Amino acid sequence: MAQNNNKELRKIKLKVGLIIKKKKLGGGIKEDKIDESEQRLINLDYERIKKLKKEMNEIDKKLLIILSSGKNTSKIHKEKEVKQKEMSEFKQELSRTSASYNTNRKKWVFKQVINFLKVKSDFLTLQEEAIEKLQNYCNHLESSISKKRNTIGSTRNMKTSELADKYTKEFQNILVKYNNGLLELDKKFSSLKKIVQENKELEVSLIIRNILKLNSYNFNKYKILGFANNSQKGTRTQLNFNMMTEDINSLRKNLNELKLELKQETKGLKNLTAD
């Protein structure tokens, strides 16, 4: 019967529950292990739903044959009752499994949203760190050049040029280093967009897609090099204090806009729950 057919699903649910519980208790379970178990649970629900619908379709056919026979014997009546009872049980199980399937998919989508927002927050923290380092190099350049201003003639010019070369190189290296952090954000975004698309019939997926603007997400806003016009590779071999300051101010302005965007996204999603 339906109860027996659902035995494997119950076992997996119990296993997933134990894995998640162990994770919460600090049991050393890796996140990818939990992801694998949660995804397996969703897949089992999906396969069970398909099987239930197929079995219900077969019962419908058998009931049709019974009812169209025109006979009204006790045997026919009993067969009809058996099939109707089976159909009722399958409908109940289908309702429960469908609810479980949709709930678990919703939780899965939310998990990807949380992962994405966390990586985005971490990325912005790194950008803030980069800006602080850039500001330090800018300040060091100005301070070092000020100390050399009392040096005489060509020696002063040579030392000033050497300092500018040194700090320009360090300044640009910082930009390149922190720009590479975009790869993880891009990876999480692609994963989230794919999962939202796979679950597009869920109402929550539409809400998430609209709040995060997944279909029009502009990754150029996160490319730190794109907002440091004076420092872009190949455009300048040497930067002065004013050029560095312009780039830093541009980066700060963009960072503040991205922080505001993250705050608005978080606020828009806070009323949504995975339950």
Sign of CA dihedral 98, 102, 107, 108: positive
Q: Please, which pLDDT band fits residue 217 given cuts at 50, 70 and 90?
A: confident
**What is the band of 166 on the pLDDT scale with cuts at 50, 70, 90?**
confident
Residue 32 shares a structural domain with residue 96: yes
Q: What is the DSSP letter of 223?
A: -
More confident residue, 7 or 108: 108
Q: Poorest-confidence range of 105-114, 186-195, 224-233? A: 224-233
Tokens 């056919």 map to which residue? 61
Kindly state whether residues 60 and 138 are assigned to the same domain. Answer: no
pLDDT at residue 275, rounded to an integer: 45
Residue 183 pLDDT greater than 60, yes or no: yes
Q: Considering its fold, how many domains does the chain have in total?
A: 2
Q: Are residues 100 and 116 in the same domain?
A: no
Let me know if residue 24 belongs to a domain.
yes
Taking 80 as the threshold, does the pLDDT of residue 171 lie above it? yes
Give the end of a domain, one of 104, 134, 162.
Answer: 104
Task: Indicate whether 132 belongs to any domain.
Answer: yes
* 220 assigned to some structural domain: yes
Do 254 and 125 share a structural domain? yes
Mean pLDDT, rounded, of the chain: 81
pLDDT reported for residue 2:
47
Q: Do 141 and 171 sit in the same domain of this protein?
A: yes
Closest CA to 182 of 241, 223, 229: 223
Stretch 182-201: mean pLDDT: 90
Residues 238, 172, single domain; the answer is yes
C-alpha 193/C-alpha 116 separation (Å) is 10
Question: Is residue 145 located within the same domain as residue 242?
Answer: yes
Q: Which helix (H) or strand (E) holds 246?
A: helix 241-269
CB distance 196 to 151 below 8 Å: no
Given this model, what pLDDT does residue 274 score?
Answer: 44
Q: 58, 80, 104 — which closes off a domain?
A: 104
Most confident of 9-18, 45-54, 166-175: 45-54
| pLDDT score at 125 | 93
- Is position 274 within any domain? no
**pLDDT given for residue 159 in this prediction:** 65
Shared-domain flag, residues 25 and 157: no
Q: How confident is the model at residue 21 (pLDDT cuts 50, 70, 90)?
A: low
Residue 118: predicted pLDDT = 93
pLDDT tier at 240, thresholds 50, 70, 90: confident
Domain final residue pick, 104, 125, 151: 104
* Least confident residue range of 5-9, 74-78, 155-159: 155-159
137-161: per-residue pLDDT in tens?
888 888 877 766 555 454 555 567 7
Same domain, 132 and 229: yes
d(CA 229, CA 250): 9
Q: Is residue 275 part of a domain?
A: no
Question: Can you give the residue range of the structural domain that contains 68?
Answer: 2-104
Indicate the pLDDT class of residue 45, thresholds 50, 70 and 90. confident
179 within a domain of the structure (yes/no):
yes
Report the percentage of the chain scoring pLDDT > 70.
78
pLDDT beyond 70 at 192: yes
The answer to whether position 113 is within a domain reads yes
CB count in 10 Å sphere of residue 96: 14
In a domain, 174, yes or no: yes
Same structural domain, 81 and 127: no
157 and 90 co-located in one domain? no
Residues 133 and 16 in one domain: no
